[in-house]
Amino acid sequence: MELKRVVVTGLGAITPIGDNVSDYWDSLVNGVSGAADITRFDTSKFKTHFACEVKNYDWTKYFDRKEVRKYDLFAQFGMISADQAIADSGLSKEHADFDQVGVIWSSGIGGLSTLYEEVVSFVSGDGTPRFNPFFIPKMIADITAGHISIKYGFRGPNFATVSACASSANALIDALMYIRLGKAVAFVAGGSEAAISESGVGGFNGMHAISTRNDDPKTASRPFDKDRDGFVMGEGGGGMVFEEMEHALARGAKIYAEVIGGGLSADANHMTSPHPEGYGAYLSMKRALEDAGLKPEEIQHINTHGTSTPLGDISEPQAIVKLFGEHAYNISINSTKSMTGHLLGGAGVVEAIATVLAINNNLVPPTINHFTDDPEIDPKLDFTFNKARHREVTTALSNTFGFGGHNASIIFRKFIP
């Protein structure tokens, strides 16, 4: 069968460096760090005192008191970014059959704060089980997809993807596949996360996964730098509207880019560590290229997973060189996590948004906080260190990898009807 073409018609984001897409992009281009001391709880007994929180978040700007009782913070971020993307797309019942519009919304962890608060309340009480009736629906990772569909009346396929930090990239790739096959005319796809809490920070500290650079939080996320010491936790959400091309053109929609390929793989290696030679990353990128029908030399830009972890920042560049060969040195590579921190299940989509905007603006945001080259990383690769770069970007790839060895790569191209 002939596959449908898929385009991006809406974007939405709430991030540590901007609570809408425009502010997010401006901060990326200008190399703004979202890292600062944590404000939500007392960190004095924790190894890490900082994270990339959404700044000055005020739920009353978005929800009434009755509504917000139903939402964990991760769902709040999800609803906000989905609302933005839908509004940006102009998708309405006037131009679309909502029975044919789906939602795929992800979270790697779900309502961690709700779970923590309910358990603490029970344990500190007299043993009488007085649990909030919204406890379970607020906690489960799939609930945001349900809330979006209920609010808008979208009755197409509706579910969550959970693959740790690759979750929202998986959501985007699933949306691409469903539309290609004619199973829906459009999807609201993305993900959100809000794990900056006592249990979130404590858990990642226990794994020695996050930075402890408490004396200088703004430079703590330093992907591909020799002195990196772990990722910086982030939070927020991102949403994209993917739409069948002819449907989008028929209603006169604004089109940001075309979605032309997705690749998935498993490391089959270790619970938390990447394959040492990046073989899983190599496979996901290779499969994305094959799915898109592209040659390696047709990629100009890669938004890497680039978390600022000791092992991951070595294996991903190795995979890029293995797949792209000499052309790897012509690609503008970056890691926007150097500014946003790591949004975990929301990372894939906020980085895909940055990738689409790089194509739209022919501008690659920087990888900030680079001070010292790592001798284990190929020095000929162009990581766009510390300053944004103007260059033509026709086709770009975004990588997202998760604990458990989950790998997802998605490719966007400048739209040509």
Where does 210-359 show beta strands of DSSP type E? 236-244, 257-266, 301-303, 332-334
In the set 165, 247, 275, 301, the catalytic residue is: 165
In the set 247, 305, 370, 406, the catalytic residue is: 305
Q: Which residues pair with 233 in a beta bridge?
A: 342
Taking alpha carbons only, the member of 232, 378, 400, 221 closest to residue 314 is: 378
Q: What is the distance between the alpha carbons of residues 344 and 167, in angstroms, rounded to a whole number?
A: 8
Buried b (16+ CB within 10 A) or exposed e, 201-233: beebeeeebbbebeeebbbbbbbbbeebebbbb
CA 25 to chain centre: 14
- 138 contact partners, CB below 8 Å, separation of at least 6: 70, 71, 72, 75, 111, 114, 132
Residue type, 92: S
- 142 is written with which tokens? 């799939």
Active site residue 165: yes
Q: What is the distance between the alpha carbons of residues 210 and 49, in angstroms, rounded to a whole number?
A: 11
Q: Which residues pair with 396 in a beta bridge?
A: 301, 412
Taking alpha carbons only, the member of 366, 306, 301 closest to residue 331 is: 301
Active site residue 406: no
Taking alpha carbons only, the member of 297, 303, 51 closest to residue 194 is: 51
Q: Which residues pair with 407 in a beta bridge?
A: 265, 401
Q: What is the distance between the alpha carbons of residues 181 and 169, in angstroms, rounded to a whole number?
A: 19
DSSP state letter for 163:
B
In the set 301, 342, 370, 406, the catalytic residue is: 342
Q: What is the distance between the alpha carbons of residues 38 and 52, in angstroms, rounded to a whole number?
A: 8
Q: What is the distance between the alpha carbons of residues 239 and 237, in angstroms, rounded to a whole number?
A: 7
Active site residue 305: yes
Contact 357, 25 (CB under 8 A): yes
Catalytic residues: 165, 305, 342
